[in-house]
């Protein structure tokens, strides 16, 4: 999509979300759900923000308030814990301010706690909400509020209403929330909590209140243990209906395999895209292209950051992926490799850098010119290399490929004495009769890049083997000269190398000339 064609606006509804328990005809939310002012406090909060605060909500904020405010039949909020994922600078701080003022001045909750990675970050929405209350709700605050309704002493920051409802802040740590009783907790940048210390201190400060809510707002982070655990539990409930119905997930994110330059994917994680006062699609696309170009040059850090902060895609170790995940999925066509096609069959073996895993893979060029791949056997454990040395001859005899390849410049050099063709040195028994052993030396770059190209072109087919899929999903590029290879430092990629090597050898085998029956009879 070109810059001139950008007309997409941000998504009002999240890509992943916990549906309401309330059923019935469509209500006034507008998304088709059955929520009404009787079954969600969110409608009152939206009206409060517009009427009393003078701040009409963006569509996504209105939707979130309504769905997160769902009520049980007894009037208690359905969600005790809510995880909200949305792209940076999309208005989540303003949503927090609106909600906080509603809870204090309309619902009159006695104590609200706001937390963030550092107290100074929690202080910004805390102070902004106070200033907004002074401007818009002066009659609901003590007289001379700047002197009589706020305490700014470090570590004791709080302000309060005329009804003695307090809003305090703390850093996200093992002490933030202890010795307190809170009816609402707002945990900003929740995924930056890398253990349960901060979560335990703040969440259990609500234990005395049955109608309490813990709001966790964030962009993703693979190291955020509480975030990832809660998100996984919420997704399991969404998919199966089993689990905790009081745990809600509302995630504005792009699909995991989305192209960063796809403006429609950007709209899913940036709900203010194209709206007045919101984000510019042109700017985001420029940022995306710069990040993608950096990754193509071999540095995936910028793209990793863009996908995390802007697209809200959960990252693992890198986004400098060698194999297109969507293309690899498209190449899945389950069927076995026909080992009877021995004149076309190529095999390759490789060993991981840590010596803990080895793989034997095969490839065969089909009649339609696609190449089918399969891992035949894998060895794992501290003695994987020794297992490979002992068992490879039997596997080669069993599979009988036309050619068996390996990478002498890689970790498989450790087993060179048993894998290399030693017949010219007078050795017997290896390789089996009819099997040619070939070291892939100068063509390693061509082998890796060629395999990636085949996957992108969908000229590879595979059966979706779990181990191979897992390694392909994490295989990263390592720039080498004018091209790249699969980096071995990011994890085991021996299966990827073995499959790529088998494809390379299968493509370079002499084509078998088909002889017609009539020719044979002549």
Q: SS3 for 174-217, per residue?
A: CCCCCCCCCCEEEEECHHHCCCCHHHHHHHHHHCCCCCCEEEEE
Note the Cα 423 to chain centre separation in Å: 50
Q: Which residues of the chain have pLDDT under 50?
A: 1-5, 317, 515, 517, 519-522
Which phi and psi angles does 266 have, rounded to 5°?
Answer: -65, -35
Q: How far apart are the first and last CA of the chain?
A: 60
Q: Which residues contact 132 (CB under 8 A, 6 or more apart)?
A: 53, 97, 101
Burial of 75 (0-12, 13-18, 19+ CB in 10 A): exposed
Domain assignments of the chain as residue spans, ordered by start: 15-251, 264-309, 325-508
- How high is the pLDDT of residue 513? 61
**pTM of the model as a whole:** 0.66
- Rounded distance between C-alpha atoms, residue 522 and residue 520, angstroms: 6
* Closest residue by Cα to residue 489 from 476, 500, 480, 507: 476
- Report the interhelical angle of 42-51 vs 92-105 (nearest 10°): 100
Please name the helix (run of DSSP H) or strand (run of DSSP E) that holds residue 345, with its range, or none.
strand 345-351
- Rounded distance between C-alpha atoms, residue 297 and residue 380, angstroms: 34
- Report the interhelical angle of 466-474 vs 494-508 (nearest 10°): 100
* Closest residue by Cα to residue 411 from 356, 361, 355: 355
Query: What does the radius of gyration of the chain's CA atoms come to, in whole angstroms?
Result: 30
- How high is the pLDDT of residue 519? 45
- How high is the pLDDT of residue 1? 45
- How high is the pLDDT of residue 119? 87
Please check whether residue 194 is in contact with residue 223, taking contact to mean a CB–CB distance below 8 angstroms: yes
Does domain 325-508 fall under CATH 3.40.50.2300? My reply is no
CATH architecture for segment(s) 15-251 = 3-Layer(aba) Sandwich (3.40)
> Pairing state of beta strands 213-218 and 158-160?
unpaired
- How high is the pLDDT of residue 315? 72
- How high is the pLDDT of residue 364? 96
pLDDT digits (tens, 9 = 90+) for 410-423: 999 998 888 887 66
pLDDT digits (tens, 9 = 90+) for 198-215: 999 999 999 999 999 999
């Amino acid at each position: 999509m070109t810059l001139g064609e950008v007309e997409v606006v941000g998504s009002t509804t999240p890509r992943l979300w916990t549906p309401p328990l309330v059923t019935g005809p469509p209500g006034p939310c507008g998304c088709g759900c059955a929520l009404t002012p009787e079954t969600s406090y969110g409608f009152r909060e939206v009206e409060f923000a517009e009427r009393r605060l003078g701040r009409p909500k963006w569509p996504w904020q209105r939707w979130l308030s309504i769905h997160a405010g769902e009520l049980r039949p007894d009037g208690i909020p359905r969600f005790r814990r809510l995880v909200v994922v949305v792209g940076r600078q999309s208005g989540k701080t303003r949503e927090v301010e609106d909600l906080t003022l509603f809870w204090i001045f309309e619902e009159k909750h006695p104590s609200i706690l706001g937390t963030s990675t550092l107290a100074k970050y929690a202080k910004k929405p805390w102070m902004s909400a106070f200033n907004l209350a002074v401007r818009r709700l002066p009659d609901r605050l003590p007289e001379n509020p700047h002197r009589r309704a706020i305490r700014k002493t470090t570590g004791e920051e709080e302000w309060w209403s005329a009804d003695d409802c307090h809003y305090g802040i703390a850093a996200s740590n093992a002490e933030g929330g202890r010795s307190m009783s809170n009816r609402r907790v707002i945990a900003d940048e929740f995924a930056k909590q890398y253990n349960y210390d901060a979560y335990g201190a703040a969440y259990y400060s609500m234990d005395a209140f049955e109608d309490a809510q813990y709001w966790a707002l964030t962009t993703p982070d693979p190291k955020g243990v509480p975030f990832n655990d809660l998100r996984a539990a919420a997704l399991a409930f969404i998919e199966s209906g089993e689990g905790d119905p009081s745990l809600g997930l509302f995630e504005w994110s792009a699909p995991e395999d989305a192209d960063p330059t796809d403006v429609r994917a950007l709209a899913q994680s940036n709900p203010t895209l194209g709206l007045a006062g919101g984000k510019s699609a042109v700017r985001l696309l420029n940022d995306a292209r710069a990040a993608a170009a950096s990754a193509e040059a071999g540095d995936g850090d910028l793209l990793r950051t863009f996908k995390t902060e802007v697209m809200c895609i959960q990252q693992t170790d890198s986004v400098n992926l060698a194999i297109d995940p969507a293309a690899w999925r498209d190449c899945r066509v389950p069927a076995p490799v026909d080992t009877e096609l021995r004149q076309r069959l190529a095999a390759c073996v490789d060993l991981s850098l840590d010596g803990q895993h080895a793989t034997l893979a095969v490839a065969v060029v089909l009649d339609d010119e696609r190449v089918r791949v399969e891992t035949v056997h894998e060895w794992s454990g501290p003695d994987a290399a020794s297992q490979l040395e002992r068992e490879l001859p039997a596997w080669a005899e069993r599979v009988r490929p036309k050619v068996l390849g390996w990478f002498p410049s890689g970790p498989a050099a450790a087993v060179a004495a048993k894998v290399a063709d030693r017949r010219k040195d007078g050795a017997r028994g290896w390789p089996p009769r009819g099997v040619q052993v070939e070291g892939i030396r100068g063509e390693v770059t061509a082998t890796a890049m060629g395999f990636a190209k085949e996957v992108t072109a969908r000229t590879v087919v595979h059966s979706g083997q779990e181990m191979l899929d897992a390694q392909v999903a994490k295989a990263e590029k390592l720039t080498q000269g004018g091209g790249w290879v699969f980096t071995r430092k990011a994890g085991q990629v021996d299966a990827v190398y073995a499959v790529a090597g088998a494809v390379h050898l299968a493509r370079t085998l002499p084509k078998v000339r088909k002889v017609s029956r009539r020719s044979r009879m002549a």
